[in-house]
Amino acid sequence: MKEIIDTIIQLAIVKRSDDIHILPNGASYYVFLRDGYQLKLEKTIDFETGGQMIRYLKYLADMDVGERRMPQDGAIVYDIDDQKIELRLSSISNYLMHESLVIRVFHSSELKEIVPSIMNEAAYQVLNSYMRRKSGLMIFSGPVSSGKTTTIYQLLRSAYEQRTSQIITIEEPIEIKEPKFLQTEVNEKADITYDRLLSASLRHHPDIILIGEIRSEQTARMVIRAALTGHLVLATVHAKNTFGVIGRLKELGITNEQLLQTLLLVTAQRLVPIHNESNDEVTDRLALFELLHGEDLSRFILKQDMPANFKSLNALLKEAMDYGLISKATMEEYQVETVTHD
């Protein structure tokens, strides 16, 4: 059993897949790996073996092996090829009580940096310039597997190399290990919340704070307070694009005046695959950044005016296709539905 699981996890490591999906399908189980937004079928196994795999992994993750009705979560530090790989497990059953399991794989042994290209070099320069600020708020948005965490850690490490700083991170979970930073992890079951950790972090007098996600009004208020009291704060917000981030922050009770006083920059990121034309294998990934900052950001906060010559994610995708970096199919797959602002 362990050999089968080792093979699947090794494949996920080699392909840099974030998720492994073990899903029931009739008399079989399908094993998928996530490639960007897509699931790719890697293996079909018989139903009994699939069930045994799920039970074995649940056992390792200290989940209730006998409980199939209730969804469960768990975690494993899995030993494979002299590596320790952190896995986060989520199980849920269908109406037939056939269990499925999704495994999040954290490739945290090393940070695979996103290499700047003709499509994003200017964006990196802008991002790094704001990292030199003493205070303020930088917001990063994008879906799972869009490279947000990698980008943020590149910026934090670069800032630390230029000037030794006290950097505190508040995450759920910690995806990239960095001994130079004070990394803390949210644990809701133990009442170690974003709010509690952020409040304690402010008493630690950090230079830079990373907030894994702003998801509540209280966290949003505390982030604004941190940015107003002399800290540079980096945070993520779930939104479709940069304009959606502003709307989301307002939904969480942040006023225009607070945004104008604290918000330095908003970026929406996508990590799109570059395919080998001969065999359609993913050979690399291209980071694209939609940026909203400076006067353009202030005008949008106050009047929702669309900036002139603004490069949206869709425009960047089209440009990448024109440069021959991505295919037309990839461009269409990653297009963002646009919303008109009246």
Cα separation of 269 and 38, whole Å? 17
Q: Which residue has the tokens 């494949």?
A: 11
> Which helix (H) or strand (E) element contains residue 9?
helix 2-14
CATH class as words, domain 1-106: alpha beta
Residue 203 CB burial class (10 angstroms; 0-12, 13-18, ≥19) = exposed
- What's the pLDDT tens digit per position in 248-288? 999 999 999 999 999 999 999 998 888 766 666 667 789 99
Residues of the chain with pLDDT below 50 are 109, 340-342
What secondary structure does DSSP assign to 219-250, as a single string?
A: HHHHHHHHHHTT-EEEEE---SSHHHHHHHHH
Handedness of CA 14, 75, 157, 139 (dihedral sign): positive
- Confirm if 269 and 148 have CB atoms less than 8 A apart: yes
pTM here is: 0.84
> Of the CATH numbers 3.30.390.50, 3.40.50.300, 3.30.70.640, 3.10.50.40, which one belongs to the domain with range 117-334?
3.40.50.300
pLDDT score, position 342: 43
pLDDT score, position 287: 92
Listed by start position, the domains of the chain span: 1-106, 117-334
- Confirm if 293 and 167 have CB atoms less than 8 A apart: no
Cα separation of 208 and 232, whole Å? 5
Other CB atoms within a 10 A radius of the CB of residue 242 amount to 25
- Confirm if 165 and 159 have CB atoms less than 8 A apart: yes
